[in-house]
Amino acid sequence: MPLALLALAVGAFGIGTTEFVMMGLLPEVADDLHTSIPTAGHLVSAYALGVVIGAPLLAAATARLPRRTVLIGLMCLFVAGNALSALAPDHRWLLAARLLSGLPHGAFFGVGAVVATGLAAPERRARSVSLMFLGLTVANIVGVPAATLMGQHLGWRATFLAVSAIGLAAVASLALLVPRTPGHAAPAAGLRGELAALRSLPVWLALGTTVAGFGALFAAYSYIAPMLTDSAGYAETSVTVLLALFGVGATAGNLLGGRLADRSLRGTLFGGLAALTAVLALFPLLMQARWSAALAVALLGTAAFVTGSPLQLTVMEKAAAAPALASSANQAAFNLANAGGAWIGGLALASGLGTTSPAPAGALLAVLGLAVAAVAYAVDTRRAPHAGRERVVTAHVPPAPARVPSEPAREALHR
């Protein structure tokens, strides 16, 4: 695999760290800025809103620029957002800085996935995307716990300065390792071609699969802490270690999904969603004992992230002529899944069905994801033969040239 994938993974590591670290620093931030923890929780929503807004907007705005330049520019914006977060004098300034930090997230992963597939051989495209996402999953194992610990001992501002330093390292890595090749030059499709790709029904079905499939994950994962403490009987101090188990499972699932998707993209997608459905359906049973609860957390990460690379690659294949905007839109879909899944899981919890009820609700979302993927498969199957017949009917066959009789032949015919 080319070293340029390492540069993409470094950027993904920084983005993954800043996305999730705020959840662990809410008490410190609320205390320092003299606000309540629920109000400080809006900082998490501000980042997600930045991702949803920035993913299609920045991808469209940079459609004519070389992709290497776009990646470096997006990472510079990321550095600026985190530096401003560290310097924010009050809650409103920090809210704006978090929104700014989230803007480049989706476009970086979207454009980065296009560059990653261009760096690898055709039979290793999914694996190359999974290696870029490896930075995001490793951030949950190493980056977020380390950044949280730093914030608790040195202050939350030190955490965002450290994340800015990671962003600068990513900028240097991208500049040094991503080659200046024609494949990373300005795309020929431009903004019009990128927007045209979003008018395709298969693209929207692929985005819908992402929203439903990863919404299933966040329906349960958003409420994993009360499940572990109230149902499995773990102490609150053990939750951090168990969340690291989720990161380990996510990393394993990400690598496995990339390898399997290179063999069968559709099979890996359907298999991953089916596995996620099964794990979530079994969650209430697995949360009855500590050992099985720990296993459930790891399995949840594995089953969910097996589908990560296949979902990204599916969207890119459906928008093959102009994949950057559609790929970035898929990152917005991941964050819509985060918000929507958490909301649906909260409804199940508030209905009085029990602490583990968000997991079966997530299983229903995973089934919905399977249904949308099945509809997409049916649409592809129906379109393929029609496309073939159109090519046959409209094919232009030149008429055979008229055969002119030779002079002796004409004389023979005359006689």
Among 158, 178, 198, which residue terminates a domain?
178
**What is the Cα–Cα distance from 319 to 78, expressed in whole angstroms?**
27
Same-domain check for residues 3 and 74? yes
Phi-psi region of 182 (alpha: psi -120 to 50; beta: other; left: phi over 0): alpha
Total domain count for the chain?
Answer: 2
**What is the Cα–Cα distance from 112 to 178, expressed in whole angstroms?**
11
Same-domain check for residues 123 and 212? no
**What is the Cα–Cα distance from 25 to 198, expressed in whole angstroms?**
38
Which domain range does residue 232 map to? Answer: 190-386
Are 340 and 215 spatial neighbours (Cβ–Cβ below 8 Å)?
yes
**Per the domain annotation, does 396 fall within a domain?**
no
Span 48-66, average pLDDT: 84
Are 101 and 166 spatial neighbours (Cβ–Cβ below 8 Å)?
no
Q: Give the three-state DSSP class for 267.
A: helix
User: CA distances (Å), 115 to each of 25, 200, 208, 247, 321, in order?
Assistant: 34, 22, 24, 25, 14
Lowest mean pLDDT among 15-29, 150-164, 192-206: 192-206
Q: For the whole model, what pTM was predicted?
A: 0.76
**Per the domain annotation, does 412 fall within a domain?**
no
**What is the Cα–Cα distance from 307 to 310, expressed in whole angstroms?**
5
**What is the Cα–Cα distance from 189 to 195, expressed in whole angstroms?**
10
Instruction: Report the Cα 254 to chain-centroid distance in Å.
Output: 11
User: Is pLDDT at 301 greater than 70 in this prediction?
Assistant: yes
Tokens (6 digits) for 20: 């999730």
Instruction: Report the Cα 177 to chain-centroid distance in Å.
Output: 23
Same-domain check for residues 97 and 214? no
Query: Which residue is listed with tokens 């997409």?
Result: 376
- Which CATH number does the domain housing residue 326 bear? 1.20.1250.20
Q: What's the mean per-residue pLDDT of the chain?
A: 82
Q: What is the pLDDT of residue 77?
A: 95
**Per the domain annotation, does 213 fall within a domain?**
yes
Same-domain check for residues 174 and 219? no
pLDDT, tens digit (0-9, with 9 covering 90-100), for 250-285 = 889 988 988 898 888 889 999 999 999 999 999 999
Same-domain check for residues 46 and 70? yes
Q: What is the pLDDT of residue 394?
A: 40
**What is the Cα–Cα distance from 220 to 279, expressed in whole angstroms?**
11
Among 119, 146, 178, which residue terminates a domain?
178
* pLDDT class of 321 with cuts at 50, 70, 90: low
Same-domain check for residues 76 and 205? no
Are 307 and 272 spatial neighbours (Cβ–Cβ below 8 Å)?
yes
**Per the domain annotation, does 287 fall within a domain?**
yes
Same-domain check for residues 236 and 142? no
**Per the domain annotation, does 398 fall within a domain?**
no
User: Is pLDDT at 186 greater than 80 in this prediction?
Assistant: no
User: CA distances (Å), 25 to each of 28, 83, 88, 134, in order?
Assistant: 5, 16, 15, 24
Same-domain check for residues 123 and 149? yes
* pLDDT class of 172 with cuts at 50, 70, 90: very high
**Per the domain annotation, does 108 fall within a domain?**
yes
Among 178, 205, 231, which residue terminates a domain?
178
Same-domain check for residues 118 and 157? yes
**Per the domain annotation, does 374 fall within a domain?**
yes
Same-domain check for residues 209 and 172? no
Query: Which residue is listed with tokens 């929203």?
Result: 211
**Per the domain annotation, does 391 fall within a domain?**
no
**What is the Cα–Cα distance from 105 to 20, expressed in whole angstroms?**
13
Are 239 and 290 spatial neighbours (Cβ–Cβ below 8 Å)?
no
Same-domain check for residues 164 and 267? no
CA-atom Rg of the chain in angstroms: 25
Same-domain check for residues 159 and 268? no
User: Is pLDDT at 131 greater than 80 in this prediction?
Assistant: yes
Q: What is the pLDDT of residue 400?
A: 47
